[in-house]
Structure 1
Amino acid sequence: MDIRIVPWLGLLYLLSFLDRGAIGNAKLYGLEADLNITNKQYLIALTVFFFPYALFEPVSNVLLRRIQPSIWLSSMMFLWGVVMLCHGFVRNYSGLLALRFFLGLAEAGLYPGIVFYISCWYKRSELGTRIATFFTSATIAGAFSGLLAAAISNMNGVAGRTGWSWIFILEGLFTILCAIVSFWVIQDFPETATFLTGAERVFVIRRLRADMQFSAGGEQFKTKYVWQSLKDWKTYIAMGIYMGFDGPLYAFSLFTPTIISQLGYKATAANLLSVPVYVWSCIVTVFIGFLGDRLGKRGYINLALFSTGLVGYIILISSSNPTLSYFACYLAASAIYPTVPNAVAWVSSNTEGSYKRGVTLAMAIGWGNINGAVSSNVYRAQDAPWFRFGHGIVLAYIAIGWISSAVFMIQLKLENDRRDRGERNEVIGCGDRLEGDTVKAAKNGIYESTEAARADKGDAWSGFRYTL
Structure 2
Amino acid sequence: MSDEKLSAVHSSTFKADDAHIEHANAGRDQEGRLALPPRMFTKEEEAKLYRKIDIKDPPLYDRGNIGNARLVGLEADLGMSGSQYAVALSVFFVTYCLFEIPSNLCLSRFRPSLWITLLTFSWGLVMTLMGVVQNYAGLVVCRLLLGATEAGLFPGVVLLLTFWYPRDLLQRRVALFFSAATLAGAFSGLLAYAIGFMDGVGNYRGWRWIFILEGLMTILAGVLAYFVMVDRPEQAGSWLTPEEKAYVIWRKESDGSSVGEAKHISWKYVKAAFSDFQCWCALGYYTGVLTALYGVGLFTPSLINSFGTWTRPQVQLLTVPVYLAACAYVLVTAVYADRLKTRFPFLLAAQLLCLVGFTINLTPAPVGVKFFGLILCAMGAYGGVPAMITWLTGNLSGQAKRGVGSALTLGLGSLGGVASSNIYRSADAPRYFLGHGVELGLTVLGICCSCLYAFLLTRANKAKEAEQARQDALPEHEKRVYTVKELQDLGDKAPEFVYTV
- Pick the aligned partner of 2:220 from 163, 177, 186: 177
Structure 2 Cα separation of the partners of residues 53 and 425 of structure 1: 47
Q: 1:259 to 1:140 in 2, by over 3 A?
A: same
Indicate yes or no: 2:243 matched with 1:199.
Answer: yes
With over 3 angstroms needed to count, the CA separation of the structure-2 counterparts of 1:8 and 1:261, relative to structure 1, is farther
Matched to 2:120, the amino acid is M
8 Å contact 2:423–2:435 — kept in the other structure? yes
- Tell me, yes or no, if structure 1 residue 96 matches structure 2 residue 139: yes
Q: Rate the CA distance shift 1:328–1:100 in 2: closer, same or farther, 3 A.
A: same
| Equivalent residue for 1:82, pick from 114, 125, 144 | 125
Counterpart selection for 1:254 from 294, 298, 310: 298
For 1:147-173, what per-residue CA distance to the aligned partner results, in whole angstroms no more than 9, with x for missing partners?
001101211111111111111111111
> CA 1:270–1:182 in 2, change beyond 3 Å: closer, same or farther?
same
Check 1:5–1:246 CA distance in 2 against 1; reply closer, same or farther (3 A cut): farther
CA distance in 1 between partners of 2:64 and 2:170 (Å): 26
Q: How far apart, in 1, do the equivalents of 2:56 and 2:277 lie?
A: 34
1:319 alignment partner, one of 364, 367, 371: 364
Aligned to 1:338: 383
Question: What do the CA deviations read for 1:79-119 (whole angstroms, capped 9, x no partner)?
Answer: 11111111111010100000000011111100000111111
Give yes or no for contact 2:362–2:433 (8 Å, CA) kept in 1. yes
Superposition map of 1:113-192 within 5 A:
113-192=156-235
Structure 1 residue 10, shift from structure 2 partner: 5.3
Deviation at 1:191, TM superposition (A): 2.5
- The question of whether the paired residues in 1 share the 8 Å contact of 2:162 and 2:170 is answered with yes
CA deviation string 1:118-164 (max 9, x = no partner): 11211111111111111111220221111001101211111111111
| Alignment CA distance shift 1:314-1:425 (3 Å) | same
Say if 2:222 is the partner of 1:222. Answer: no
Equivalent residue, structure 1, for 2:73: 30
* Cα distance per residue 1:219-278 (max 9 Å; x no partner): 222221111111111111111121110011001011011100111122111111111111
* SS class of match (2:307): coil
- Decide whether aligned partners of structure 1 residues 117 and 426 sit closer, same or farther in structure 2, where only a CA change above 3 A counts: farther
Distance 2:68 2:420 in 1: 17
Judge conservation of contact 1:191–1:218 (CA < 8 Å) in 2: no
**What letter matches 2:457 in structure 1?**
L
CA contact (8 A) 2:360 2:370 kept: yes
Q: Which runs of 5+ in 2 are unaligned?
A: 1-48
Tell whether the 8 Å contact from 1:87 to 1:99 is kept in structure 2 after alignment.
yes
Structure 2: distance between partners of 1:214 and 1:367: 33
Paired position in structure 2 for 1:454: 487
Aligned residue for 2:96?
Answer: 53
The one of the two structures with greater contact order (alpha-carbon pairs below 8 A, sep at least 6) is 2
User: In 2, distance between residues paired with 1:118 and 1:273?
Assistant: 33
Which of 37, 41, 51 is the equivalent residue of 2:84? 41
Alignment partners' CA distance in 2, 1:320 and 1:147: 28
For residues 5 and 374 of structure 1, what CA distance do their matches in structure 2 show? 38
Q: Equivalent pairs: percent with the same residue?
A: 39
Mapped contact 2:262–2:398 kept (Cα < 8 A) = no
Aligned residue identity for 2:194:
A
Give 1:345 deviation, angstroms. Answer: 1.4
Work out whether 1:463 is the aligned partner of 2:488. Answer: no
Q: Which residue of 2 aligns with 1:397?
A: 442
Partner of 1:236: 280
Residue number in structure 2 paired with 1:353? 398
Instruction: Give 3-state SS (helix, strand or coil) of 1:467's partner.
Output: coil
Distance of 2:74 and 2:198 partners within structure 1: 15
Is 1:366 the counterpart of 2:411? The answer is yes
Q: TM-score, normalised by structure 2?
A: 0.85
Offset at residue 370 of structure 1 (A)? 1.3
2:316 equivalent to 1:275:
no
Quick one: which of 454, 467, 471 aligns to 1:422?
A: 467
* Aligned with 1:111 (options 154, 164, 187): 154
Residue by residue over 1:199-218, the C-alpha shift from the partner in whole angstroms, topping out at 9 and shown as x without a partner, is: 32221111112222568587
Question: In the TM superposition, what is the alpha-carbon distance from 1:454 to its structure 2 partner?
Answer: 2.2
Shift of 1:6: 4.0
> Do the aligned partners of residues 206 and 387 (structure 1) sit closer, same or farther apart at CA in structure 2, a change above 3 Å counting?
same
State the AA in 1 paired with 2:452.
Answer: V
SS at match of 1:262: helix
Check the 8 A contact 1:244/1:397 in 2, yes or no: yes
Query: Deviation per CA, 1:53-103, whole angstroms, max 9, x where unpaired?
Result: 122111111110111011100011111111111111101010000000001
CA–CA separation in structure 2 for the residues paired with 1:464 and 1:26:
48
Shift of 1:282: 0.9
Give the aligned residue type for 1:467. T
Name structure 1 gaps, 5 residues minimum: none
Matched AA of 2:360: I
Aligned residues of 1:205 and 1:217 also touching (Cα < 8 A):
no
CA 1:4 to 1:63, structure 2 compared with 1: closer, same or farther past 3 Å? farther
Paired residue type of 2:495: S
Distance (Å, rounded) in 1 between the aligned partners of 2:92 and 2:134? 18
For each residue in 1:3-34, what CA deviation from the matched residue of structure 2 results, as whole angstroms up to 9, or x when unmatched? Answer: 565456453xx32xx2x311111111111111
Give 3-state SS (helix, strand or coil) of 1:376's partner: helix
CA RMSD of aligned residues (A): 2.2
Change (3 A) 1:8 1:386: farther
Evaluate the alpha carbon distance shift between residue 456 and residue 424 of structure 1 in structure 2; reply closer, same or farther with a 3 A threshold. Answer: farther
Q: Would you say the 8 A contact 2:351–2:447 is kept in 1?
A: yes
In the alignment, which residue of structure 2 is the partner of 1:381?
A: 426
Name the CA shift for 1:268/1:9 in 2 (closer, same or farther; >3 Å): farther
Report the Cα distance in structure 1 between the residues aligned to 2:129 and 2:302, rounded to whole angstroms.
24
CA distance in 1, matches of 2:281, 2:377: 23
Q: Which 10-residue stretch deviates more, 27-36 or 291-300? A: 291-300
